[in-house]
Amino acid sequence: MFRLVSYVLKGIWRHRARTMLTVSGAAVAMFVFCFVGSVQEGLERLTFDEDAQRTLIVFQENRFCPTSSRLPEDYARRIAEIPGVKDVMPVQVWTNNCRASLDIVVFNGAPPKQLQTARNLKLISGNWSDYESRRDAAIVGRNVAMRRNLKTGDQFSIGDLDVQVVGIFSSHVPAEENLIYTGLEFLQYTRGLDSAGLVTQHEVHLTDNADPDEVASSIDEALRAGPVATTTRRKGAFQTSTLSDLVDLIGFAHYLGYACVGLVLALVATTTVMAVQDRIKEHAVLQTVGVRPARVFRIVIAESLLLCLAGGILGTAFALSILAWGGLAIGAEGVTIAFRPSIHLAVAGLLVSAIVGVLAGIIPAIQAARTPIVMALRQP
């Protein structure tokens, strides 16, 4: 085994320029593959986790951008009386851009005490007492803090909003880390927003035995006679509807991932074929000294596998590093999709690299193993 690996490594090193070009091409393709995978994982986490299925969002009927939804804050009291509802949190949403953006900034205003129980937020720096005592206080998701270079104690201004950063938080829900939380009254009474007594949406948390769809219908029915009609959906369905254009784009990007896999397959296969053509006589000599065709087959497969794995490891590692330190996200209409690295993504990248490496080497390996010794030795 050691001799086999040593021989393969020497063969790869002998053509360094070709090896480097092949590895770098495979690395770029796997980098794109991992990025596409991270976007798909982010969308799945956002729309299909338990919180997204057991939480309801009450929004103004036939409204899309958060700035166009204006519900009475008093609806929270009426919603809380409906069977199956455990808690209702009024939320005022402000965003700097309702269109799709890679640098969207989303503020969520909510009652500070209620926020601590409704959302599983962990302060990395700062403390809750400062958040509760200051009217202009804000706690910032670590992804936003990373992108905007914010830290506790900074003053942050965007549009008509000017807040004091009193904490940086993390969350087990990656999309949460792209939000900035302030007190509800701060957003309601900020000059230019004119939202006193109004909120963007009500976030409804259900009891364990409640049926989300039945409760959603009951809420809309109970509020039908109110001043503003509502549409209530599960949080996951609401976010999917809000991000409908992006969902279609992400679905199309799925094919880009497949194209990257095909590119690696073609690239490594081409390189392996060239390597086999260059060493036809060498493989024939190996067979004359007792190396069986099956061993020649394994040598070619090993070379293809090593090239593909080297590119896959580099591309996957670079992609995961960018995802971990970049704090990247894309959003629209106040809903964001976080790009996050994961063990599943790393394993998928390496597994795809290994499979493609084996597949790319099969045909060249068969060619090398079946080439007649006499014909191969006559090659110039």
Please choose, from the candidates 168, 202, 169, 164, the residue with its C-alpha nearest in 3D space to the C-alpha of residue 183. 164
Q: Where are the domains of the chain?
A: 2-46+245-377, 62-228
Residue-averaged pLDDT of the chain: 84
Residue 76: the pLDDT is 93
Residue 14: the pLDDT is 75
pLDDT in tens, 22-61: 889 889 999 989 988 888 888 777 766 667 778 899 999 8
Residue 373: the pLDDT is 62
Query: Could you identify the residue written with the tokens 């293809």?
Result: 304
CA dihedral 74, 77, 80, 82 (to 10 degrees): -90
Residue 85: the pLDDT is 94
pLDDT at 202 over 60: yes
Q: Whole-model pTM?
A: 0.76
CB 180 within 8 A of CB 107: yes
pLDDT bin (cut points 50, 70, 90) of residue 341 is confident
Bridge partners of residue 230, in order along the sequence:
60
Please choose, from the candidates 233, 255, 264, 198, the residue with its C-alpha nearest in 3D space to the C-alpha of residue 335. 233
Could you give phi then psi for residue 289, rounded to 5 degrees?
A: -95, 10
pLDDT bin (cut points 50, 70, 90) of residue 79 is very high
Residue 203: the pLDDT is 94
pLDDT at 123 over 90: yes
pLDDT in tens, 241-294: 777 667 777 777 778 888 888 888 888 888 888 777 666 666 666 666 666 778
